[in-house]
Amino acid sequence: MQSASADLGKRAEFHHDLQITNLRYLGDRNDTVDLLTMRGYGAPMNRWSLLLIGFCLFAFPFRSSAPLIYTPGEGWTYEPVGGEGKWQRPRAKDQLEVAQGAFDQHNFGLARKAARRVVRVWPLSDYAPQAQYLVGRCYEELGNDERAFKQYEKALEKHPKMLNYQEVLQRQYEIANKYLGGKWFKLWGYIPMFPSMERTAEMFDKIVKNGPYGEIAPQAQMNIGLARVKQRNYPLAVKAYELAADRYHDRPKVAADALYRAGLAYNRQAQAADYDQSAAGQAIATFTDFMTLYPDDRRVPEAQKIITMLKTEQARGNFQTAKFYEKRKKWNGALVYYNEVLLQDPNSPYASSARQRIDELKKRTLQASK
């Protein structure tokens, strides 16, 4: 009996607790009012009560005073409490003035936000080019050079007749030079990763394409070659330098420098890993063209010195190949390569030995024929 009475008492207490209902009505922005905290009144909360609470939450939303605001197309921005929307203007001209004024006051976050709104809301207006330029300038001032470069690229692509076109190209060139000097690219614009000559070469390539015959285009094209050399991609370096020599042949200083550097790239390719006879031959031909076209260039003696070294190396390679054939008693093959030693450089250190071996092999072949 006592056990039954205890169970009835617990059940009564349980049902009594279920009758406690706390409802909060969310009215004004920050005011929260407790309507009911009552014991003994009303029925247990059912699905209709839950629906009522859900309706109140969505019908009367609570606005947070958090200063971070997300705008589609613009991203997360900081808004001081009570200052929402004060930077926005109904006309493109006025909006650009807000952006320019903020930029002049070194408020680059607000300037970027206002300028991007011009580009997004009035993309075809006369103020869009300057606004897009300002977006790039803000990123540059904030130290995000990669994003600045991309924003400048958008300005040049969308507004090819913008008044400060050459200035934008110059700014892109200066940014690309930073990465050519070893500046690290960033993951997602924030996390430093590593230098990349591949991406650096792509930057210079875009500069050249946007202004192939401008003032900075020749040096930008040359820097593509330099980036490829740092990357140790000598075939692409040669290609970049040869393009510079061909495209800017009417600028002797640029063309001479490009041809000389192409010869150096061929030479490095010849020396890389196993000796590349084909690259060595290309280097000799390129340096020969350089000396023929620009005989008064101060680098002609150096080019001649490199040619001599390359020919000596070619002679050595052919001499070693001839010995390989001779050791295996392939007399005709050995004779071919000993003759190549004399044809490539009759004055090389290997020429005298090659002549001796040629005479000896000729005697052997005559005796073999008898």
Those residues whose C-beta lies under 8 Å from the C-beta of residue 118, and which sit 6 or more positions away, are: 92, 95, 96, 99, 125, 127, 128, 131
Angle between helices 277-293 and 300-327 (to 10 degrees): 150
pTM: 0.72
Dihedral sign from CA coordinates of 112, 115, 119, 121: positive
Is the distance from CB of 172 to CB of 153 less than 8 angstroms?
A: yes
CB 108 within 8 A of CB 141: yes
Domain boundaries, the chain: 2-59, 232-297, 317-370
- pLDDT tens for the chain, 370 residues long, are 444 444 434 444 444 443 433 333 333 333 333 333 333 334 444 555 555 555 554 444 444 444 555 555 445 555 554 444 589 999 999 999 999 999 999 999 999 999 999 999 999 999 999 999 999 999 999 999 999 999 999 999 999 999 999 999 999 999 999 999 999 998 876 787 888 999 999 999 999 999 999 999 999 999 999 999 999 999 999 999 999 999 999 999 999 999 999 999 999 998 875 667 788 899 999 999 999 999 999 999 999 999 999 988 888 888 888 888 888 888 888 888 888 888 877 888 888 888 888 888 887 777 666 5
Q: Which two tokens stand for residue 31?
A: 């005011």
The beta-strand segments (E) located in 27-181 are 32-38, 68-71, 75-78
Tokens of 278: 């084909």
Maximal CA-CA distance, the chain: 135
Cβ atoms within 10 Å, residue 354:
22
CA distances from 303 to 55, 196, 257, 268 (A): 85, 30, 12, 14
Tokens coding 270: 């010849």
- Tell me the two tokens of residue 63: 């606005």
* Predicted local confidence at residue 337, as pLDDT: 87
